[in-house]
């Protein structure tokens, strides 16, 4: 009986990992988001947010989890943004240290504004966990769209992120999450 239970758990884990690794979310083709939320981290995230801002697809971008040593001027220079664009449309969030912190920082930012739709921009392998943690803290009227930046994650990254996602989902399910 114990062996069968352990075997069933192992099979469920393996099938879950296979699903997680082979069905990564993709970019959002068209969206109606007013703002974009971009957790710092892997390459391509901030660039995607800036591109959407420049194209007019979003009116504001929150970059959450910015290192405290990064100045607004350095950020603007690195991403080719003028002072006017930084002042009107880019908020740098310095409070978050991890994905859970991104969720809290995002919820606080949303509370200060009249926002009803957002676009979450993060790496494809990070999307499920980031989406889960952020969506649990947002008011129910705020629509959150997933806009995943395609990557080529290693097996190690997928393995680690799968377990983080499982832990986050389980913690929320039993009431220990956000």
- Residue-wise pLDDT tens digits, 47-74: 999 999 998 889 999 999 999 999 999 9
Helix (H) / strand (E) element for 63: namely strand 60-64
Question: Is residue 38 very low, low, confident or very high in pLDDT (cuts 50, 70, 90)?
Answer: confident
For residue 172, what are its two tokens? Answer: 């929320």
- 60 with 91: CB under 8 angstroms? yes
Cα separation of 86 and 81, whole Å? 7
How many other C-beta atoms can be found within 10 angstroms of the C-beta atom of residue 151? Answer: 16
Q: CA 97 to CA 51: how far, in whole Å?
A: 25
Under a CB-based contact definition with an 8 Å cutoff, are residues 86 and 75 in contact?
A: yes
Whole-Å CA distances, 102 to 12, 126, 140: 30, 12, 18
Quote the pLDDT of residue 178: 52
| Mean pLDDT across 75-89 | 93
Confidence band, pLDDT 50/70/90 cuts, at residue 24:
very high
Query: Looking at the predicted structure, is the pLDDT value of residue 14 above 90?
Result: yes
Q: What is the mean pLDDT of residues 69-84?
A: 93
pLDDT at 177: 62
pLDDT value at residue 43: 85
Average model confidence (pLDDT) across the chain: 92
pLDDT given at position 94: 96
pLDDT over 70 (residue 168): yes
User: Can you give the pTM of this predicted structure?
Assistant: 0.90
Q: Which residue has the higher pLDDT, 37 or 144?
A: 144
Q: Can you tell me which residue has the tokens 């996602």?
A: 165
- pLDDT band for position 150 (cuts 50, 70, 90): very high
Q: What is the pLDDT of residue 72?
A: 94
């Amino acid at each position: 009986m114990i062996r069968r239970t352990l075997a069933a758990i192992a099979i469920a884990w393996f099938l879950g990992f296979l699903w997680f690794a082979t069905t990564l979310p993709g970019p959002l083709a068209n969206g109606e988001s007013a703002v974009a939320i971009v957790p710092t981290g892997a390459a391509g995230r901030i660039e995607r947010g800036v591109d959407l801002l420049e194209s007019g697809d979003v009116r504001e971008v929150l970059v959450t989890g910015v290192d405290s040593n990064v100045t607004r001027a350095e950020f603007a220079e690195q991403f080719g943004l003028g002072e006017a664009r930084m002042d009107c449309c880019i908020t740098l969030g310095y409070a978050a240290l991890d994905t859970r912190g991104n969720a809290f920082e995002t919820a606080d930012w949303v509370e200060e504004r009249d926002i009803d739709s957002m676009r979450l921009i993060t790496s494809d392998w990070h999307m499920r966990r980031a989406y889960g943690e952020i969506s649990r803290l947002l008011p129910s009227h705020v629509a959150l769209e997933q806009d995943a930046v395609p990557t080529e994650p290693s097996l190690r990254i997928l393995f680690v992120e799968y377990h983080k996602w499982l832990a986050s989902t389980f913690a929320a399910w039993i009431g220990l999450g956000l």
